[in-house]
Amino acid sequence: MTDPLSQEEFTSSLTRIVSHLQTRHSELSQLSILSSPTTISQSLSSLPTTLSSDGLGTSKTIQYLLSSLLPGILQAQNGPRYFGFVIGGVTPAAQLADILAGSHDENVQVAGSEETISTAVEQRALEMILDLVGIERSTFMGRTITTGATGSNVLGLACARDYLYAHSPHLPPNYSYAQDGPPSTPALPSPPIIILSLHPHFSIAKAASLVGIGSSSSIIHQMPALPDDELAFDLSALEARLKAEKEVGRGVIVVYGVGEVNTGAFGSGLAQVADLCKQYAAWLHVDAAFGGFAGLMPQLAHYTKDMDKADSLTLDGHKWLQVPYDCGLFYTRHVSFLTNIFQPPSASAPAYLAVNKSTLTGPTADEDESPFPEGTVRAQDVTSPLYVGIENSRRFRALPLIASLISLGKEGYREIITRNILFARRIATLISQSTEYELLNPTPPSSFPVSEGQQDKKKIEIPIIPSNIVLFRPTASSPFSPDDPTSSARLVMAINRTGKMYVSGTRWRGLGAVRIAVSNWRTGVEGEGDWEIVRDVLEKIGKGEEV
């Protein structure tokens, strides 16, 4: 049967949901992060085994979700002591805007400035992100919101692929892989395109597979790093490789990661890498999904200040920008390659998806206002998201993003990121002073920049860890003997079973390790007691005591 929802039933269900959200918002800091095994089992048992012929209706369905299904998921993944994946929380403005986005359910794809401003909202949000990281808007005129860093990396490698084929000495000028497919000329070296990087994220390999470049070790090459900085390219080795590949006419994509996810550390030399890429006609893709916003903390600004030299740039909204899943950000300076990939020839474009060109003859609202920074796109000039991204249909992801940006401003985000990093460094100090734990990612003195005027100082304060990641393992003084290869995994389980905080397991230099990633806007807010809880859990678990 259908679900003839009355206004009263809708209001009643909405009231129930609002009450749930209000309670959760106020109690999130106290919630157990994990559901109990019993609750998970009960939630699984409550799932319908088949689709019934008659539905429950809206009211009973909402009641079922709240009482039976939702108790079985992670209860506080967006809470202040979830330190697993790098997941920001959801700011109040973003959460409420996301509810509105779902309620209005607009498909933000075709630009029609006389009918909706949704695509203009997306453009402005993308421009404000550039403002946030200190990049001139005109640097990256190719912009779009994606599902996440993987989607953005797909776009970056797709643009790189077409750029390199279009400039290959073995192919006709402006050859289009997107339009004409893989070239079949025997003159092309095999493989025709390779990727050079230091420690590329797994999503780079996935993106390379998806866009037809390939992901084997013959295509994705790990380059040598500096002897005293494993996150910095050995520039001499990079230049030699770029020169050799240019001589054979092979296309090269250099992937530079801003921030390493296991340690939170940053490499140096992005500007020099960019100069070499320009000199040897390689494409520079900067994957800054993890650390692109770390530079809002002034002490880390030098690590992100040269992101504007990239040919393509990946950033992430659902990490440190604290907006709901899913929200990735993509930028490129080569607009024509982006649109050439995703915009079909006009003759084959679906008529019902045709761009509605503005017919306004008078000045637009934008023109009536004070001048905007160079690179600002007017509402009537926005390229349809349909023609710069993967999806043909997409939700209004920009609404929670712009709501959070407007609500916090640059200083609000600077405060969150700085607080997260200082909180992580406080944990790292505790770990380093403990006899039960070994800190694995202390900041190497050689990687900490010394500014002018500091050279003669007897002591330069070096942060204990690079940023917001704490990497450690148990020692022989703990109940988790390092002689047991499962010790770190057992330590992770013991910490997480408390329900008071959540960490993730990883491997570092071939051995198990524990990783804490601090990235939530709530973490460390004064008066919430996060530090006392984290300290209590780590100290007691390390001694084998009950929490």
Secondary structure string (H, E, C) spanning 323-380: CCCCCEEEEECCHHHHHHHHCCCHHHCCHHHCCCCCCCCCCCHHHHCCCCCCCCCCHH
Give residue 259's region: left, alpha or beta (phi > 0; psi -120 to 50).
left
Q: Is residue 67 part of a domain?
A: no
Q: Which range has the top average pLDDT, 109-113, 286-290, 359-363, 365-369?
A: 286-290
pLDDT category, 114, cuts 50, 70, 90? confident
The string of DSSP codes covering 398-457 is HHHHHHHHHHHHHHHHHHHHHHHHHHHHHHHHHHHH-SSEEE--PPPGGGS---TT-TT-
Give residue 281's region: left, alpha or beta (phi > 0; psi -120 to 50).
left
pLDDT category, 444, cuts 50, 70, 90? confident
Q: Is residue 1 part of a domain?
A: no
Residues of the chain by 3-state class (helix, strand, coil), percent to 5:
45, 10, 45
More confident position, 539 or 85: 539
In the predicted structure, residue 249 carries a pLDDT above the cut 50: yes
Q: Is residue 419 part of a domain?
A: no
pLDDT at 365: 46
How are beta strands 251-257 and 193-197 bridged, if at all?
parallel
Residues above pLDDT 90, as percent of the chain = 85
pLDDT at 358: 36
Q: Is residue 82 part of a domain?
A: no
Q: Which residues lie closer than 8 Å to 86 by C-beta, 6 or more apart? A: 261, 290, 319, 320, 517, 519
Look up residue 307 and give its DSSP letter: G
Per the structure, the count of domains in the chain is 1
Could you give the CA distance from residue 405 to residue 498 in angstroms, rounded to a whole number?
34
pLDDT at 448: 64
pLDDT at 527: 85
- Which residue is listed with tokens 């999503």? 203
345-377 pLDDT, tens digit each:
665 666 666 654 433 333 344 445 557 899 999
In the predicted structure, residue 294 carries a pLDDT above the cut 90: yes
Mean pLDDT of 78-88: 94
pLDDT at 460: 60
Q: Is residue 547 part of a domain?
A: no
pLDDT at 455: 54
395-442 pLDDT, tens digit each:
999 999 999 999 999 999 999 999 999 999 999 999 999 999 999 999
pTM: 0.94
In the predicted structure, residue 458 carries a pLDDT above the cut 70: no
In the predicted structure, residue 447 carries a pLDDT above the cut 70: no
| CATH number, domain containing residue 255 | 3.40.640.10
Q: Is residue 442 part of a domain?
A: no
Length of the chain: 547
Q: Is residue 220 part of a domain?
A: yes
Q: Is residue 527 part of a domain?
A: no
Q: Which residues lie closer than 8 Å to 143 by C-beta, 6 or more apart? A: 123, 126, 127, 329, 330, 331, 332, 388
187 is in which domain, residue-wise?
104-401
